[in-house]
Amino acid sequence: MNNKKEISERKLLGVAGMGWMFDAMDVGMLSFIIAALKLEWDLTPGQMGWIGSINSIGMAVGALVFGLMADRIGRKHVFIITLLLFTVGSGASAFTSTLSVFLVLRFFVGAGLGGELPVASTLVSESVPVEKRGRIVVLLESFWAGGWLIAAVISYFVIPRYGWQAALLISALPAIYALFLRIGLPDSPRFSAIKEEKKISALQSMKKLWSKEYSRQTAMLWIVWFCVVFSYYGMFLWLPSVMVMKGFSLIKSFEYVLIMTLAQLPGYFTAAWCIERFGRKFVLVVYLTGTAVSAYLFGSAETTAMLMTAGILLSFFNLGAWGGLYAYTPEQYPTIIRGTGTGMAASFGRIGGVLGPLLVGYLVAQNISISTIFTCFCISVLIGACTVLFLGTETKSKELL
């Protein structure tokens, strides 16, 4: 491969990855902001759950709408639109003083975020060589860990001293970067090669997903996405608050979550190494199983050392699994329905993202133990792992159609 092409791949990964990182900053800070708003606005567990869930409702709508749009107007344009939408919503939410207005703006933030993630992974999947595709998409997903890490640092140093509003304003900075994307980002060569007459309508795309040819992979993806998103948002949006419930101060809980967040990076990098050697199914099944075991251990931990160890393992395995899922999903469909297929799988998964935080809020209000709550997430992730194992097909080295 010539140097020019390598530079092009690195630039694409950097451009898409930075957008991914900014999104992660917003979602990561939200978990800390929920904990801060509980104190400032005297929120009930149910209201805290709704902040996370309204974000996921927006993500479900965004993934569906923008996934369909990506197959009509292109990956690049949708990527820029969604990034701007979530950025403006995030910045505006810093000026709210009521929960209702905050929830409305979080819906729009979620819509931008939900549309951006599957479209970005589709764009990268279609733009890199088959032998590097899995690794590069997982590396794209690794920018999420960088965003979470920045979010944890900002939340630890900024929120206690300057307030949650300052943290949200910092997360709005990607608006400037989005303008750069418009100039420097090429669209997917596979999408650009599709003749206008070969494109199909949104309704035809959705029907094709459930045709005999693609129904098995669609069912598999929807189940896995639901299980993974349900458990991820249920666990990670509540992580700082759970630490407080376990007896730690707000500052100490932020500090511990920051340490746990560091484990996301080796989780991604090991998954990126394994995915081209052992395949997508191997990475998903192994890392999801590791996530399930870690969730159970975290919920039942009774000492600080056990809590930290389980939390670190939870971050390591869960985010590695996310990388595998984003690499695996676009590979299930041909180019004409890839945006729709990836977007709808993510959209269905976001239903789990709505239910997860609400379930935690409800169970906490009913005085259900943290160990029982995390056991529910353990079971959910195991269902996802079994679904990939029995319904999934390996797509390593598969040429995209």
What CATH number is attached to the domain comprising 75? Answer: 1.20.1250.20
Mean pLDDT of 30-47: 81
Where does the pLDDT of residue 382 fall: very low under 50, low under 70, confident under 90, or very high at 90 and above? very high
In a domain, 396, yes or no: no
Output the pTM of the full model: 0.79
Are the CB atoms for 206 and 344 separated by under 8 Å? Answer: yes
- The answer to the question of residue 401 being in a domain is no
pLDDT at 3 over 60: no
Tracing tokens 């509980």 back to the chain, one arrives at: 38
Residue 379 has pLDDT above 90, yes or no: yes
In a domain, 87, yes or no: yes
Judge whether 36 lies within some domain.
yes
Alpha carbon separation from 263 to 67, 230, 238, 317, 376 (Å, rounded): 31, 21, 18, 9, 23
- Pick 270 or 46 by higher pLDDT: 270
- Does the residue 333 lie in any domain? yes
Residue pLDDT, tens place only, 220-267: 999 999 999 999 888 877 777 777 777 666 666 767 777 777 787 888
Average pLDDT over residues 349-363: 83
Residue 192 lies in a domain: no
**Higher local confidence (pLDDT), 78 or 183:** 78
User: How many structural domains are present in the chain?
Assistant: 1
> Tokens standing for 165?
């509003």
pLDDT band at 149 (very low <50, low <70, confident <90, very high): confident
Angstrom CA distances, 352 to 225, 236, 370, stand at 8, 13, 19
Q: Is 400 helix (H, G, I), strand (E, B) or coil?
A: coil
Q: CA 378, 346, 103: angle at the middle one, nearest 5?
A: 90
% of the chain surpassing 70 pLDDT: 91
Return mean pLDDT, the chain.
82
- The whole-number pLDDT of residue 4 equals 43
**Taking residues 213-224, what's their average pLDDT?**
93
pLDDT tens, position by position, 291-323: 999 999 988 877 778 888 888 899 899 988 988
pLDDT in tens, 163-210: 888 888 887 776 676 667 666 677 777 777 776 656 677 788 888 888
Question: For residue 397, is it within any domain?
Answer: no
pLDDT, tens digit (0-9, with 9 covering 90-100), for 94-129: 898 888 999 999 999 889 888 888 888 788 888 877
Question: Does residue 365 lie within any of the structural domains?
Answer: yes
In whole angstroms, give the CA distance from residue 372 to residue 77. 44
- The whole-number pLDDT of residue 7 equals 42
Give the domain range for residue 386: 3-180+200-391
d(CA 383, CA 388): 9
